[in-house]
Structure formats: structure tokens, C-alpha cells
Amino acid sequence: MAGGPKLFVGLGNPGPSYARHRHNIGFMAMDSVAWRHRMAPWRRKFQGELTEGDLGPVRALLLKPMTFMNLSGQSVGEAMRFFKIPLADIVVFHDELDLVPGKVRVKQGGGVAGHNGLKSLAAHLGSPDFKRVRLGIGHPGHKDRVIGHVLSDFHKADADWLEPLLDGLAESAPLLARGDDAGFMNRVALAMQTASKDG
């Protein structure tokens, strides 16, 4: 097995009252990947919940920081140092206002665009150059409505794209783990198209 493990991080807020929030799509993605690939039960570690398993030939650690979004970097920094994982092997799944709902983009580094979880990660990891999987949740149309938008539950109708998206992310995760970002995005897009045709 080549190289060390990848660290996949899903961003969100802990507790049942936040569980279905748009801001928690990173947690939802991690749960979906862990379930699909039959990973070990989640355990409390590094101020978060951690599981591990294989994504194809690649060993992967999955982490959901339980520090609340704005302090996510504390948890990720601890795990990174403990496992000696280089920045290049960290992949962060997070909600993205600037993408339409269900759209997925993988990006290496860049700005943090007002996202407090990403700000915390950049501060604690010493650099913003980690890989991001940007999960579109759409924009409410006005900046004054952003906080209410991200901190409210997905609507029932959102299940039409959210469930196929989470399934597609889980199925395609081995491509992402081995660094095939374009293949991963294509596979997820295909899963979404197939679901919309079937629907």
C-alpha cells in the first residue's frame, strides 16, 4: 500500500439540533463514506469522532471535529500531528454557498472566503493549502440571509439531490483518496445525472 493514510475531514457542528443543517453537509458526507465502506465504529478522539478503513488500496482516516465549526482546526491539527499526516494528504469536505445545490468541486488551497471552519483549519494547520471538496448548498440571495441559510435544516425537497449526492460521494471516495480529483468529480456528477433521470 503506497504512502501513509489520507485524512478526510468533514466540517459541521455537533449535536442533534445541528444534524440536518446545511452547514453540516461535511459531517453527512463522512457518515456516508464510513457506512458505504464498512469502516470501524466512530470513536471519540482528537476532540472529534474518528473512524478508519480502506478506500480501495488507500488507508483513510475520517474525522468529524466536535469542537463546533469555528474551532475545527483544533481537532484536525491534533490528528494531523499525531498521525504525522502531511498537509497534501488532508482533504476537507465543507458546505459552499457559491455553488448551486448538489454541485461538487475539488480545489487545492486558496482563500477561506469567510468560512469560519476553513479559517480555523488554515490557522491550526499553518497553511490554507489543504485540499477542499466544496459541496454546493446554494446562496440565499443576500448576505444578510447567509447565517440563517447555513444554520437551518435542508428542506424535504432537497432530498432529491442531497441523497444522490451523498451516495455519489461515498461511492467515488476511493478515486479522491488516490488523487484522481477529476475522476471523482465526474463520477459524482454522473451519479447525480442518473438519479435525476431515475427520479
Catalytic residues: 23
C-alpha cell at 85: 499526516
Place of cell 499526516: 85
Distance of alpha carbon 129 from alpha carbon 3, whole angstroms: 19
Distance of CA 173 to the CA centre of its chain: 11
User: Starting from the edge strand earliest in sequence, which strands make up the sheet with 104-108, in order?
Assistant: 43-45, 48-55, 58-65, 6-10, 90-96, 131-136, 104-108
Distance of alpha carbon 123 from alpha carbon 119, whole angstroms: 6
Distance of alpha carbon 154 from alpha carbon 22, whole angstroms: 6
Its sign, for the CA torsion 125, 131, 132, 133, is negative
